[in-house]
């Protein structure tokens, strides 16, 4: 596989933290093989593009205004991590990560996450805030989706359609226009071929226009199964305007029935390998958010670190006093006063399993005192995170990141 050394940079996408409460999603893409290379030009392409986008739609009177569904969660995220992330917005009443209970394993902790879950807040305004601040958040190689959960019902199950034979020029909007007469579209997607290498290069150099070759295949998820059934009846075998080929519309395979490649258990059991494999500097995301205020981006050289040459092992002066029994505590210094927990999640999430984050605040002003803590499960991932984020420019501040010491608590091993 090819290496992309030139993209080992972190690009901060934050608004000025001192003057803005809102933080645009921190765009991180993991260097995780070709399939993790940018696939489209910065568009969230799994959401609907029309006005019925469920992430922004407010629930009707009978529906819950506190209950959210969270989709596209990273495989490694646990329910506790999920709860911690969403608690940074407001008081969480309940949190449930859906796991595949049918997975054959003797290790209960390793049952497959189904990649989605539910968060119910006490207050509707917190739920709304969670949608505004966490929808679109990038965690590892995923962009999570946060939207109101529909009332659980049999009628909404199995409403996902597989569509093939689409004309290559058909856009996501056009696809939705074709299907929208039959019901409320929850998500739509057109599959694209991987970018050609020359496009990867132009991406890295910041060229905004990246062609994405449609595979002529897509998915439409309706709100109700009846809507999907009717769309099949009305559209299957028909020829879209401007095309000369009939499309096929049928129910999509359910995920469990497809041949799935399960992440090797070895990834959990050999964190060294997992850390090396998963590591990649988050890379630049093109223009979308760059129209705001002054931003400072630093291409931080990482030449001194190579996950393949044993540097990980070389840095094995163990900070034993930071190992609290279930994780490695990392000290993050030089945070802005307005920093929130979600910032730390965004910064450290790409490097591996994050157990908890904490922004230390002044009790009177509730402003960040300039530092915080992040606890990561695996030593190797913590080392990579520290080496990558130490010296990184967040807003107009250069972060200092290291294992936590026990300053102020002499003699105490915590």
Partner DNA sequence: CGACGGGACGC
Q: Which residues pair with 148 in a beta bridge?
A: 68
Q: Is the Cβ–Cβ distance between 114 and 99 less than 8 Å?
A: yes
Task: Confirm or reject binding of residue 400 to DNA (CB under 7 A).
Answer: yes
Contact between 284 and DNA (CB under 7 A)? no
Which residues from 70-129 bind DNA, rule CB under 7 A? Answer: 71-72, 75, 94, 96, 98-102, 112-116, 118, 120
- Write out the binding residues for DNA, residues 162-201 only, by CB under 7 A: 162, 164-165, 186-187, 189, 191-192
User: Quick one: which of 76, 133, 145, 302 contacts DNA (CB under 7 A)?
Assistant: 145
- Regarding 237 and contact with DNA (CB under 7 A), the answer is no
Q: Which of 302, 352, 358 is nearest to 329 (CA)?
A: 358
* Bridge partners for 68 per DSSP: 119, 148
The nearest distance, CB 8 to DNA, in angstroms, is 20
Give first-to-last CA distance, the chain, whole Å: 42
SS3 344: helix
**Which residues 295-334 are close enough to bind DNA by CB under 7 A?**
324, 329, 331, 333
Judged by beta carbon, residue 4 or residue 162, the one nearer DNA is 162
Helix (H, G, I), strand (E, B) or coil at 320: helix
Ramachandran sector of residue 215 (left: φ over 0; alpha: ψ -120 to 50; beta: rest) = alpha
How does DSSP classify residue 351? Answer: G
In the set 28, 195, 221, 302, which binds DNA (CB under 7 A)?
A: 221
Q: Does 41 bind DNA (CB under 7 A)?
A: no
CB 266 within 8 A of CB 273: yes
Verify binding: residue 12, DNA, rule CB under 7 A: no
Q: Which of 82, 150, 170, 195 binds DNA (CB under 7 A)?
A: 150
Pairing assessment for the beta strands 214-222 and 160-164 based on DSSP bridges = antiparallel
Q: By C-beta, is 221 or 278 nearer to DNA?
A: 221
Q: Does residue number 264 form part of the binding site for DNA (CB under 7 A)?
A: no
Pick from 295, 297, 373, 391 the residue near DNA by CB under 7 A: 373
Cβ-based nearer residue to DNA, 55 or 274 = 55
DSSP-based helix, strand, coil % in the chain, nearest 5: 25, 20, 55
Element of type H or E holding 198: helix 197-204
In this chain, which stretch among 1-9, 80-88, 124-132, 150-158 interacts with DNA, using CB under 7 A?
150-158
Least distance from DNA to the Cβ atom of residue 260, Å: 3
């Amino acid at each position: 596989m090819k290496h992309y050394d030139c993209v080992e940079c972190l690009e901060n996408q934050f608004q000025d933290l001192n003057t803005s409460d809102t933080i645009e999603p921190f765009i991180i893409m993991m260097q995780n093989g070709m399939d993790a290379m940018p696939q489209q030009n910065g568009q969230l392409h799994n959401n609907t593009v029309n006005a019925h986008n469920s992430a922004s739609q407010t629930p009707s009177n009978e529906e819950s205004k506190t209950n959210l569904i969270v989709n596209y969660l990273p495989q490694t995220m646990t329910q506790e991590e999920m709860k911690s992330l969403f608690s940074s917005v407001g008081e969480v009443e309940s949190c449930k990560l859906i796991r595949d209970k049918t997975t054959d394993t003797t290790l209960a902790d390793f049952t497959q996450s189904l990649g989605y879950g539910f968060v119910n807040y006490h207050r509707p305004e917190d739920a709304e805030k969670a949608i505004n601040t966490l929808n679109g958040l990038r965690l590892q190689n995923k962009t999570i989706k946060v939207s109101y959960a529909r009332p659980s019902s049999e009628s909404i199950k199995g409403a996902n359609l597989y569509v093939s034979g689409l004309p290559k020029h058909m856009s996501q909007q056009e696809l939705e226009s074709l299907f929208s007469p039959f019901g409320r579209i929850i998500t739509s997607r057109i599959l694209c071929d991987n970018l050609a290498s020359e496009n990867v290069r132009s991406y890295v150099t910041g060229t905004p226009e990246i062609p994405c070759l449609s595979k002529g295949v897509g998915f439409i998820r309706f709100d109700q199964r009846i809507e999907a059934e009717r769309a099949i009846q009305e559209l299957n075998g028909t020829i879209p305007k401007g095309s000369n080929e009939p499309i096929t519309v049928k129910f999509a395979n359910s995920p469990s029935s497809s041949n799935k490649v399960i992440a090797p258990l070895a990834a959990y059991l050999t964190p060294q390998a997992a850390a090396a494999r998963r590591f990649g500097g988050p890379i630049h995301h093109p223009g979308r958010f760059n129209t705001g205020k002054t931003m400072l981006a630093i291409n931080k050289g990482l030449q001194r670190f190579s996950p393949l040459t044993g540097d990980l092992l070389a840095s094995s002066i163990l900070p034993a006093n930071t190992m609290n029994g279930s994780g490695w505590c990392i000290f993050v210094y030089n945070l802005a006063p307005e920093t929130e927990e979600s910032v730390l999640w965004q910064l450290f999430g790409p490097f591996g399993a994050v157990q908890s984050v904490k922004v230390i605040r002044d009790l009177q002003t509730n402003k960040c005192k300039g530092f915080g803590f992040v606890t990561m499960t695996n030593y190797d991932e913590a080392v990579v995170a520290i080496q990558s984020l130490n010296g990184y420019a967040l807003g107009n501040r250069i972060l200092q990141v290291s294992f936590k010491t026990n300053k102020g608590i002499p003699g105490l091993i915590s």
